[in-house]
Amino acid sequence: MSYVQPGEFDRDTNYIEDRITRDARDGWPVEAGRYRLVAARACPWANRTVIVRRLLGLEGAISLGLPGPTHDERSWTFDLDPGGVDPVLGISRLQEAYFARFRDYPRGITVPAVVDVPTGRVVTNDYPQITLDFSTEWGAFHRAGAPDLYPDALRAEIDEVNDGVFRDVNNGVYRAGFAGSQEAYERAYERLFSRLDSLSTRLSSQRYLVGDTITEADVRLFTTLARFDAVYHGHFKCNRSKLSEMPVLWAYARDLFQTPGFGDTIDFGQIKDHYYKVHRDINPTGVVPLGPDPRGWLTPHHREELGGRPFGDGTPPPPPPADERVPPLAAA
Q: Is 43 a catalytic residue?
A: yes
Q: How many CB atoms lie under 10 A from the CB of residue 123? A: 23
What is the phi/psi pair of residue 115, to 5°?
Answer: -115, 140
DSSP label at residue 326: P
- Beta strands 63-65; 35-38: pairing state: parallel
| 94, 107 contact by CB (below 8 A) | no
DSSP β-bridge partners for residue 116: 35, 121
Of the residues 35, 43, 127, 252, only one is catalytic, namely 43
Among 106, 162, 139, smallest CA distance to 32 is for: 139
Among 210, 107, 97, 124, smallest CA distance to 163 is for: 210
Of the residues 35, 127, 174, 238, only one is catalytic, namely 174
Q: Is 238 a catalytic residue?
A: no
CA distance 64 to 241: 35
Among 149, 13, 16, 170, smallest CA distance to 94 is for: 16
CA distance 89 to 111: 15
| 325, 285 contact by CB (below 8 A) | no
How far from chain centre, in Å, is Cα 47?
A: 3
- Is 138 annotated in a binding site? The answer is no
Catalytic positions are: 43, 174
Q: Residues comprising the binding site for glutathione?
A: 76
Q: Residues comprising the binding site?
A: 76
